[in-house]
Amino acid sequence: MLSSPEEAYLPRGRARRKEAQLLTRRLASLVPFASDDGAAMIRRRPRPLGSETSTCEHTFVTADAHALARFRRAIERRALWMAEDAARELPELPLEEALQLVRLYAERGSPKFERAAMRWLERYLAESSPRLRHFAEVTSSLARLEDS
């Protein structure tokens, strides 16, 4: 007979043995060891491949957009801090998008404009090797952006 109502929900027979085995395995996977300062700590023993409990094999995808897509959306919305944040996440911002950020700095009157314009001009020279006349036109148009 059951001595309490809680015992009615406890597993019996084979289920109880299986639960006891699982609990024993879980406890055996915990290995005590001493840290450098002598304090006892517990570390999980690595599980062998093909063990009963497997890790989750699903790939989790977030709803966040790619940094370049967020950058372009921020430029369209003229949101400077969002554009800067997305640009920081990119390994290298494409030259055309970098120019849009420089224009946004000029539009907002940001103190970062001149340094960003100089860095963009350096990249422009290195990546596209323009003719002298075209480089002078680009430089003067950037200077006009600062004045407006």
Task: State residue 146's pLDDT score.
Answer: 83
Chain mean pLDDT for the chain: 79
More confident residue, 65 or 49: 65
pTM of the model: 0.57
Query: Residue range 63-72: average pLDDT?
Result: 84
Under 8 Å CB-to-CB from 27, ≥6 apart: which residues? Answer: none
Task: State residue 132's pLDDT score.
Answer: 94
Give 42's Cβ-side CA count (13 Å radius). 6
Kindly report which listed range (18-22, 32-36, 57-61) carries the lowest average pLDDT score.
32-36
Kindly report which listed range (34-38, 102-106, 115-119) carries the lowest average pLDDT score.
34-38
Q: CA-to-CA distance for 85 and 55, rounded, in angstroms?
A: 34
Listed in order, strand segments (DSSP E) in 10-97 are 30-34, 40-44
Q: How far is CA 47 from the centre of its chain?
A: 28
Q: CA-to-CA distance for 132 and 112, rounded, in angstroms?
A: 26
